[in-house]
Amino acid sequence: MDPTTDNAGPTGDSRSSRASLEALRAEISKAVVGQDPAVTGLVVALLCRGHVLLEGVPGVAKTLLVRALAASLELDTKRVQFTPDLMPSDITGSLVYDARTTEFSFQPGPVFTNLLLADEINRTPPKTQSSLLEAMEERQVTVDGTPRPLPEPFLVAATQNPVEYEGTYPLPEAQLDRFLLKLTVPLPSRQDEIDVLTRHAEGFNPRDLRAAGVRPVAGPAELEAARTAVAKTTVSPEITAYVVDICRATRESPSLTLGVSPRGATALLSTARAWAWLTGRDYVIPDDVKALALPTLRHRIQLRPEAEMEGVTADSVINAILAQVPVPR
């Protein structure tokens, strides 16, 4: 992505907000090495007012990535370590009795923040997982019958380990569908890992991002301006039909028991618009849809057991569908 690219001639405000968000990549790279796709995915989610599921083995900088993003955007962030004994009120907050006033007062939980890092979300029981649903979908929590709005912007970045399933509670399809994107955070390449170790040898402290030089390069105002610009990105009827055809093809795939819902189709259209704007255009092309198809759709489909046994993956099914569905000209 090149912040100087401006093929469609957007307004000065649009160029400025795009440049601010593009600067995030350089700022976050001061703390995180070699995870550009995940950084871009988080920015797309912020632009679309969506939430992100980060999947990767322990130690690939998932937590550091979210903390660096928050520091670069001058946003408040909180982290919750999900455990089997975590209660819903530990996330949303609860009423606490004040002996001095003889009244109950609401004590906000960690969900009242801009970026909530839900670490190892699949390690807590479904009742606690579902306590995030209202917050993610309605951007509010209800305690004792009183709805309480969450700050704006608000993004949940939940992490899960893809290889260790003992003692976990897999997210049900209904909750997975609430996440706009599922981003895989891979192990670094050899050179990236050398760079990580070199930084640590030179004194890098992942708990002190300010010392690492990470500074705010954008804020809520720039983010809101960017969202306004994304909402004006043009989508032709041919692109809309292309998105629908891709999603309908998943429902007919012999490898799947569950295809993409209309909500998933809407999500793909939204992320494609955000990507088009980030790349300097005010209109969507088929390549934008293809670029965001995997992270937007991979968690919204369900493989047949026999397909899994044959080594078929969600990504391979989506890639096959992208190769088969006619591309609009």
pLDDT (tens digit, 9 = 90+) per residue, 40-99?
999 999 999 999 999 988 888 888 898 899 889 888 889 999 988 999 889 998 888 877
Q: Do β-strands 302-303 and 256-258 pair in parallel, antiparallel, or remain unpaired?
A: antiparallel
Q: Encoding tokens for residue 46?
A: 């912020």
Domain-wise residue ranges, the chain: 12-213, 233-328
Cα 258 from chain centre: 22
| Helix, strand, or coil (residue 89) | helix
**Residue bearing the bigger pLDDT, 292 or 208:** 292
- 4/111 Cα distance (integer angstroms): 36
pLDDT of residue 221: 86
Mean pLDDT of 260-264: 94
| Minimum mean pLDDT range among 60-64, 97-101, 285-289, 308-312 | 97-101
Pairing of strands 93-98, 103-108: antiparallel
- pTM for this entry: 0.87
pLDDT category of residue 11 using cuts at 50, 70 and 90: low
What are the tens digits of pLDDT across the range 13-35? 667 888 888 888 788 888 888 88
Same fold, 12-213 and 233-328: no
The number of CA neighbours under 13 Å toward the Cβ of 122 is 20
Question: Is domain 233-328 given the CATH code 3.40.50.620 in the classification?
Answer: no
CA dist 50 → 9, 14, 23 (Å): 27, 20, 21
Q: Does the pLDDT value for residue 322 go beyond 90?
A: yes
Return mean pLDDT, the chain: 88
211 contacts: CB under 8 Å, gap ≥ 6: 205
Radius of gyration of the chain (CA): 21
Question: Where does the pLDDT of residue 167 fall: very low under 50, low under 70, confident under 90, or very high at 90 and above?
Answer: low
- 12-213 has which CATH code? 3.40.50.300
**What phi, psi does 144 have (nearest 5°)?**
55, 40
Q: How far apart are CA 178 and CA 251, in angstroms?
A: 19
What is the bridge-based pairing of β-strands 115-119 and 77-81? Answer: parallel
**CB 8 within 8 Å of CB 281:** yes
Q: Residue 2: its pLDDT value, please?
A: 36
Higher pLDDT, 7 or 279: 279
Report, as an integer, the average pLDDT of 138-142: 88
